[in-house]
Amino acid sequence: MSFRYGILGEFADRLEELGVSSRYEHPKTGGHGFGLGTETEAEGWTDRAVAFWDELMKEKMV
């Protein structure tokens, strides 16, 4: 699902180059303001965001 797109994709690429943990998703459908993305390619983005946050917090605790 994830692919680089426009200025945000460039920003995500730069974060990666700098070793900054990040996740970037740009679903082909849904656009901005799609809410939870129910029944779209973005469905589950909130769960993925929380999982990413949990990963970061675990890294910080070590």
Q: What is the pTM of this model?
A: 0.70
From CA 54, how far away is CA 60, in angstroms rounded?
10
Residues (pLDDT < 50) of the chain are 1-2
Residue 31 has a pLDDT of 65
Nearest of 61, 53, 62 to residue 21 by alpha carbon: 53
Residue 5 has a pLDDT of 62
Residue 62 has a pLDDT of 63
